[in-house]
Amino acid sequence: MDVYETAIVGAGPIGCHVARYLASKGRKVAVFEEHRTIGEPLHCAGLVTQRVLELAGCPSEGIVQNTIYGAVIHSPGGSVLTIGGDKVHALVIDRQKFDVSIAEKAFHAGAMIFLQSKISAAKRINEGIGLEITKNEQKATVHCTLLIGADGAHSRIRDVFGFPKPAEHLQGISAELSEVTLDPKYVHIFVGSSIAPGFFAWVIPTNGKGTTARVGLCIGKHHTHPLPHYFTTLLQHPLLQGAMVMKRFGGSIPLGPLKKTTDNHLMLVGDAAAQVKPTSGGGLYPGLLCAEQCSSAAEAAFQTQRFDEGTLRRYHVAWSKGIGRELALGMRFRGLYLQLTDNQFNKYIEKLNTPKTLETINTYGDIDYPSRLAFPLIRVVPSLLTLAPSLLKRTKP
Ligand SMILES: Cc1cc2nc3c(=O)[nH]c(=O)nc-3n(C[C@H](O)[C@H](O)[C@H](O)COP(=O)(O)OP(=O)(O)OC[C@H]3O[C@@H](n4cnc5c(N)ncnc54)[C@H](O)[C@@H]3O)c2cc1C
């Protein structure tokens, strides 16, 4: 039986980021990935802030496909609200190259990455965890002192060891398009019950000419049609007339960060822990932040050789008090968002279309920290206060 100090399930960006840190500290780290290629299958719109590249330590070159200055928000009634435009607010990345870049860093730091190696069973044994790995229909077992579940939205590690589940999962569908004619500086966001009930749809230009795009949408629990119906509706939008669909992909987004992410010899991180922004579905920024906290708590555990829940819990406390507060507030914003009817979307989008509110949005808007905009916006549009009471309730880590 192979023995590792740390085994990480999932060679996504978050698992590999943890692997890189621990391997750089000289720990014996193995990463197990069920797929044969890093970054595939793709399930991401690839819209991030500069902070993501900085946290991951990835170069822009070869990874950043386009820069985004603003957003055009389409109401259900067809009116539009254009925000931003003054400076770069987001980057469009090639997600597969991004994932490969992080995995290469982990590998060069000394982590072993095993592809086509699915964790098919896991249980506690001898002061650690025993894992069953299935590769090409052959089974093998390994032992690790610390197991890190970075195995995505439908984490098996989360389920096997009885961690709580995310509050909800969004269902997503997406595609790469060519032959579009877009302003490359603006993403388009569509809201409303006939286009993306419970979330939103997006059109993201993926090159500086505006001729290619990544489009998609997610839906929440309550919808009247199956997911492909909404996707067909999106593709019929006049903005996408004449577009060619090159590649389709889907995915699931877990929302509602977990109340428990550590146990004896165990930690969960990234989508496995639902460390995802509930307002946008973005998981790379919060996941990478939490990966850093997970790594340093794991290294501290190795230094003291204590892997009990009490010791590892410092990771849970650290991320909950940090980005966890923003994610918890994001769940409150989501609660309000879910209550809005199409008529209310139309009304609020119209209300926000004044020079003063647009200036406030441009000044305080930050896709990683949407709460920073909430209070300045209420000052400018006091009638938004009718939405505020449930935001003001205390959030517990
Ligand atoms: C449609 C869609 C659009 C999105 N758009 C954005 C966006 O624009 N910006 C953004 O920041 N985020 C976006 N996200 C979210 C983002 O993709 C995730 O938050 C991110 O991938 C989380 O990384 P992770 O490493 O935690 O999990 P993952 O990237 O899911 O990696 C988990 C890995 O674990 C592997 N695995 C799972 N089970 C096992 C097992 N039993 N054995 C071995 N390996 C296993 C999987 O194969 C996978 O490679 C989007 C998600 C979706 C679905």
Of 306, 321, 336, which residue sits at a domain end? 321
Structure-model confidence comparison of residues 382 and 358, the more confident one: 358
Model pLDDT for residues 141-180, shown as the tens digit of each residue: 999 999 999 999 999 999 999 999 999 999 999 999 999 9
Say whether both 307 and 213 belong to one domain: no
Angle at 225 between CA 205 and CA 166, to 5 degrees: 75
Check if 44 has its Cβ closer than 6 Å to any atom of ligand 1.
yes
Residue 49 lies in a domain: no
Of 298, 321, 344, which residue sits at a domain end? 321
Q: Using a pLDDT cut of 70, give the percent of the chain over it.
A: 97
Long-range contacts (CB closer than 8 Å, 24 or more residues apart) made by 31-34: 31/7, 31/103, 31/106, 31/111, 31/112, 31/113, 31/114, 32/7, 32/8, 32/114, 32/117, 32/118, 32/119, 32/131, 32/133, 33/113, 33/114, 33/115, 33/116, 33/117, 34/116, 34/117, 34/118, 34/119
Q: Which is the closest atom of ligand 1 to the Cα of 47?
A: 8
Q: Which is the closest atom of ligand 1 to the Cα of 15?
A: 25
| Average pLDDT estimate for 90-109 | 98
Check if 368 has its Cβ closer than 6 Å to any atom of ligand 1.
no
Task: Write the single-letter amino acid at 7.
Answer: A
So what's the pLDDT on residue 391?
52
Say whether both 34 and 126 belong to one domain: yes
So what's the pLDDT on residue 382?
81
Q: Report how far residue 299's alpha carbon sits from residue 297's, in angstroms, rounded to the nearest whole number.
A: 5
So what's the pLDDT on residue 396?
46
| Structure-block tokens of residue 109 | 């730091």
Of 279, 303, 321, which residue sits at a domain end? 321
Mean pLDDT of the chain: 94
Say whether both 112 and 248 belong to one domain: no
Centroid of ligand 1 to alpha carbon of 166 (angstroms): 15
What CATH number should be reported for the domain holding residue 240? 3.30.9.10
Is residue 53 scored above 90 in pLDDT? yes
Q: Which is the closest atom of ligand 1 to the Cα of 16?
A: 25
Handedness of CA 177, 182, 186, 187 (dihedral sign): negative
- Tally of CB atoms within 10 A around 67: 17
| Average pLDDT estimate for 221-240 | 95
Check if 287 has its Cβ closer than 6 Å to any atom of ligand 1.
yes
Q: What's the pTM value of the predicted model, to 2 decimals?
A: 0.95
Q: How confident is the model at residue 395 (pLDDT cuts 50, 70, 90)?
A: very low
Say whether both 38 and 100 belong to one domain: yes
**8 A C-beta contact, residue 380 and residue 362:** no
DSSP structural state of residue 83: E
Centroid of ligand 1 to alpha carbon of 344 (angstroms): 33
DSSP structural state of residue 50: H
Say whether both 186 and 314 belong to one domain: no
The backbone region for 96, taken as left when phi is positive above 0, alpha when psi lies in -120 to 50, beta otherwise, is alpha
Q: How confident is the model at residue 397 (pLDDT cuts 50, 70, 90)?
A: very low
Residue 57 lies in a domain: no
Centroid of ligand 1 to alpha carbon of 188 (angstroms): 23
Count of structural domains, the chain: 3
Establish how many alpha carbons lie within 13 A of residue 301's alpha carbon, considering only the half-sphere containing its beta carbon: 30
Residue 376 makes CB contacts below 8 A (sequence gap 6+) with 360, 363, 364
Check if 166 has its Cβ closer than 6 Å to any atom of ligand 1.
no
Whose C-alpha lies nearest to ligand 1, atom 41? 119
Check if 35 has its Cβ closer than 6 Å to any atom of ligand 1.
yes
Residue 333 lies in a domain: yes
So what's the pLDDT on residue 195?
96
DSSP 143-192: EEEEEEE---TT-HHHHHTTPPPPSEEEEEEEEEEES----TTEEEEE-S
So what's the pLDDT on residue 171?
97
DSSP 322-373: THHHHHHHHHHHHHHHHH--HHHHHHHHHHT-SHHHHHHHHHH--TT-THHH
What CATH number should be reported for the domain holding residue 13? 3.50.50.60
Residue 56 lies in a domain: no
Check if 270 has its Cβ closer than 6 Å to any atom of ligand 1.
yes
Instruction: Among 284, 326, 366, name the best residue to mutate to test ligand 1's pocket (greatest count of ligand atoms within 8 A of Cβ).
Output: 284
Model pLDDT for residues 368-385, shown as the tens digit of each residue: 998 899 889 888 888 777
Say whether both 179 and 260 belong to one domain: no
Check if 151 has its Cβ closer than 6 Å to any atom of ligand 1.
yes
| Average pLDDT estimate for 48-64 | 96
Domain hosting residue 10, numbered range: 2-43+96-165+256-321
Q: Which is the closest atom of ligand 1 to the Cα of 10?
A: 34
So what's the pLDDT on residue 388?
59
| Average pLDDT estimate for 92-112 | 98
Tell me which residue of 368, 46, 13 sits closest to 215, measured CA to CA.
46
| Average pLDDT estimate for 7-22 | 98
Say whether both 214 and 293 belong to one domain: no
Cα dihedral 95→97→102→106 (10° resolution): 140
Say whether both 31 and 101 belong to one domain: yes
| Average pLDDT estimate for 110-126 | 96
Centroid of ligand 1 to alpha carbon of 153 (angstroms): 7
Check if 156 has its Cβ closer than 6 Å to any atom of ligand 1.
yes
Whose C-alpha lies nearest to ligand 1, atom 29? 12
Residue 50 lies in a domain: no
Lowest-confidence range among 4-18, 96-110, 177-191, 344-358?
A: 344-358
Residue 53 lies in a domain: no
Angle at 227 between CA 221 and CA 229, to 5 degrees: 130
Centroid of ligand 1 to alpha carbon of 296 (angstroms): 22
Say whether both 371 and 225 belong to one domain: no
Say whether both 191 and 265 belong to one domain: no
Say whether both 248 and 382 belong to one domain: no
Residue 280 lies in a domain: yes
Is residue 126 scored above 90 in pLDDT? no
DSSP structural state of residue 238: G
| Average pLDDT estimate for 295-314 | 98
Say whether both 133 and 249 belong to one domain: no
Task: Write the single-letter amino acid at 327.
Answer: L
Residue 52 lies in a domain: no
